[in-house]
Amino acid sequence: MKPTRAHPPPVLVWFRADLRLEDNPALAWAAARGAPVAGVFVWGPEEEAGWAPGAAARWWLRRSLQVLADALERAGSRLIVRTGPALQCLLELVRQTGAAAVAWNRRYEPALIRRDRLVEDALRGAGTAVETFNGSLLFEPREIRNAAGEPFRVFTPFWKTCLARLQPAAPQPAPKSLVPLAAWPASPPPAALELGPAHDWAQGFAAHWDPGEAGARRQLRRFVERGLAGYAQDRDRPDREGTSRLSPHLHFGEIGPRQIWHALERALARRGGRIASGAQAFLRQIGWREFAWHLLFHFPRTPEAPLRAAFERFPWESGAAAREALGAWRGGCTGYPIVDAGMRQLCATGWMHNRVRMIAASFLVKDLLIPWQQGARWFWDTLVDADLANNTLGWQWTAGCGADATPYFRVFNPAVQGERFDPHGDYVRRWVPELGAVPARWIHRPWLAPDEILKRAGVELGRHYPLPMIDHAEARRRALEAFRKWGRSPVSTRSAPG
């Protein structure tokens, strides 16, 4: 297509983990040129080096892409869908549309950093302009360094440094209208991509989630209005609706951290001290997200390898017994109700409360001594908010082998954790209904309940609900011995190229 006198040549906006129109720097740049704008999505899982979206994330992605496509059409543009490789698809679309530029918001996964550099170099070499932006973080990971010029490995000084520099620009509004192409290349709808799980375990997700940019805005509004005031107290209570549930929307870029930051600022201006502690606690979670991407950028091996090098020799369990234990953990059949409730919530909704994620992860790596990488892979496939940086940070934190990790001697007692954070047993009763009639006093330790209590509740342990697969006290002693021997070495200094 040749440019007209009215408009410069078209621009392609390559959508990736930024499935929104509002506060989308790449889209805003393209729209400001007054050129025809075409959105592009390329499905290329083979380019993600073993970390293509898992089954639950693909369920979300399919729906979010359709919402994005509809929004672009309302604005006068379209979403062109292709199946990778990305470079081949983009070069072909540049040829078909006559585009003079391709714009995108940067991603920070190690494999995609390498892929994007190759794409950028090839496009520029072919005479196409390339513009890239930060659309997903408050700071570029390379920007934040400690006094010695090195990456941070501890959260608190990292976040203090961020806060001292933090002045996020106001979110950019969504373009009111976009100039369409004169002729559109043929494109299948997002639904044509083979993104659905091979089985129907995700069919119940729709009752719990509202994928897409509009859903993200609604969820942020609900959280600010109803959840923010109590967030600092309620965020650790899985029996309450105390979290923001924004993590999948953030992961897919249906909303960005600048939008969240400014929404909280506006709320603080209206409501002041009533929500101050909740706002501060929630912004700290945004800071943890920034820290996770900082670590992944500077230590790109960490999705597979521990940051603390000595843990590469840690004596994890293996063999048939370990495989059987992993299966029981995945299926929510460990005999520890708070762990099983979390694993069943994960299967039913594609999400697990963050406090319970820590409890379940601790049980896997410290009670069962199963490698953290196996737990990380399971979460990767089953979480709708599966995020390479956050998933890696969380599992290495729990295992004690990463940056700012939990001390090796901290082994969560699942029964104590359940009693502390689900004191009435409401969370367990929702997700482990076979224990629904067990009184709160016993629900987190049903194996200690008197026989008459269990009989009255209709529970026969070993038949209706499993006995504990391992004694926690003995498992703790075993874990401490292993961690004392192998887990006390310095942090690895391996880092990414600049």
Q: What is the CATH number of the domain that holds 236?
A: 1.25.40.80
Strand partners, 102: 12, 130
- Same domain, yes or no: 374 and 451: yes
Residue 180 lies in a domain: no
* Enclosing H/E stretch for 211: none
Residue ending a domain, choose from 298, 331, 359: 298
Residue after which a domain boundary falls, among 279, 298, 317: 298
The whole-number pLDDT of residue 350 equals 97
Whether residues 241 and 257 fall in one domain: yes
* Tokens read off for 87: 């470079």
Sign of CA dihedral 454, 458, 463, 467: negative
How far apart CA 190 and CA 206 sit, in angstroms, is: 17
User: DSSP letters along 72-85, please?
Assistant: HHHTT--EEEEES-
Domain count, the chain: 3
Residues 6+ apart with CB under 8 A from 269: none
Q: What pLDDT, on the 0 to 100 scale, is given for residue 381?
A: 96
242 and 316 in a single domain? The answer is: no
Q: Are residues 368 and 399 in the same domain?
A: yes
Domain that holds residue 442: 309-486
CATH number of the structural domain spanning residue 436? 1.10.579.10
From the number of C-beta atoms within 10 Å of its C-beta (0-12, 13-18, 19+), residue 354 rates as middle
- The mean pLDDT value for 45-58 works out to 95
Is residue 303 assigned to a domain?
Answer: no
Query: Is residue 154 located within the same domain as residue 274?
Result: yes
Residue 470 contacts residue 368 (beta carbons within 8 Å): yes
281 within some domain: yes
- For residue 287, pLDDT beyond 60: yes
Instruction: Determine, yes or no, domain membership for 451.
Output: yes
pLDDT at 2: 47
DSSP code for 219: H
pLDDT band at 31 (very low <50, low <70, confident <90, very high): very high
In a domain, 424, yes or no: yes
Residue 51 lies in a domain: yes
Q: How confident is the model at residue 203 (pLDDT cuts 50, 70, 90)?
A: confident
CA distances from 200 to 203, 317, 348, 379, 479 (A): 6, 32, 11, 18, 37
Are 147 and 277 members of one domain? yes
Question: With b meaning 16 or more CB within 10 Å and e meaning fewer, what string describes 415-438?
Answer: bebbbebbeebebbbbbbebbeeb
CATH code, domain with 118 = 3.40.50.620
pLDDT band of 132, cuts 50, 70, 90: very high
For residue 372, what pLDDT band results from cuts at 50, 70 and 90? very high
Please give the model's pTM, rounded to 2 decimal places. Answer: 0.94
Q: Is residue 237 domain-shared with residue 277, that is, in the same domain?
A: yes
Quick check: is 159 in a domain? Answer: yes
The pLDDT value recorded for residue 199 is 57
pLDDT tens sequence across 294-305: 999 999 999 999
Split at pLDDT 50, 70, 90, the class of 322 is very high
Name the helix (H) or strand (E) containing 11: strand 11-15
Do residue 127 and residue 145 come from a single domain? no
pLDDT-derived band at 491, boundaries 50, 70, 90: very low
* Rounded average pLDDT over 339-343: 98
Among 215-219, 308-312, 355-359, 405-409, name the one with the lowest average pLDDT.
405-409
Radius of gyration, alpha carbons of the chain: 24
Contact 151, 497 (CB under 8 A): no
Mean pLDDT score, 430-444: 98
- Residue 496 pLDDT > 60: no
| Claim to verify: residue 366 and residue 475 sit in the same structural domain | yes
Query: Helix H segments across 243-316?
Result: 247-251, 257-271, 276-298
Statement to judge: residues 67 and 145 lie in one domain: no
Pair (118, 249) in one structural domain? no
What percentage of residues in the chain have a pLDDT greater than 70? 95
Checking 91-96 for CB contacts under 8 A at 24+ apart, the result is: 91/122, 91/123, 91/126, 93/12, 93/38, 93/40, 93/185, 94/12, 94/123, 94/126, 94/128, 96/185
- Listed residues 298, 329, 346: the one ending a domain: 298
Q: What percentage of the chain exceeds 90 in pLDDT?
A: 87
Q: How many CB atoms lie within 10 A of CB 46?
A: 10
The answer to whether residues 259 and 371 belong to one domain is no
Q: Model confidence at 6, in pLDDT bands (50, 70, 90)?
A: low
Q: Is residue 192 part of a domain?
A: no
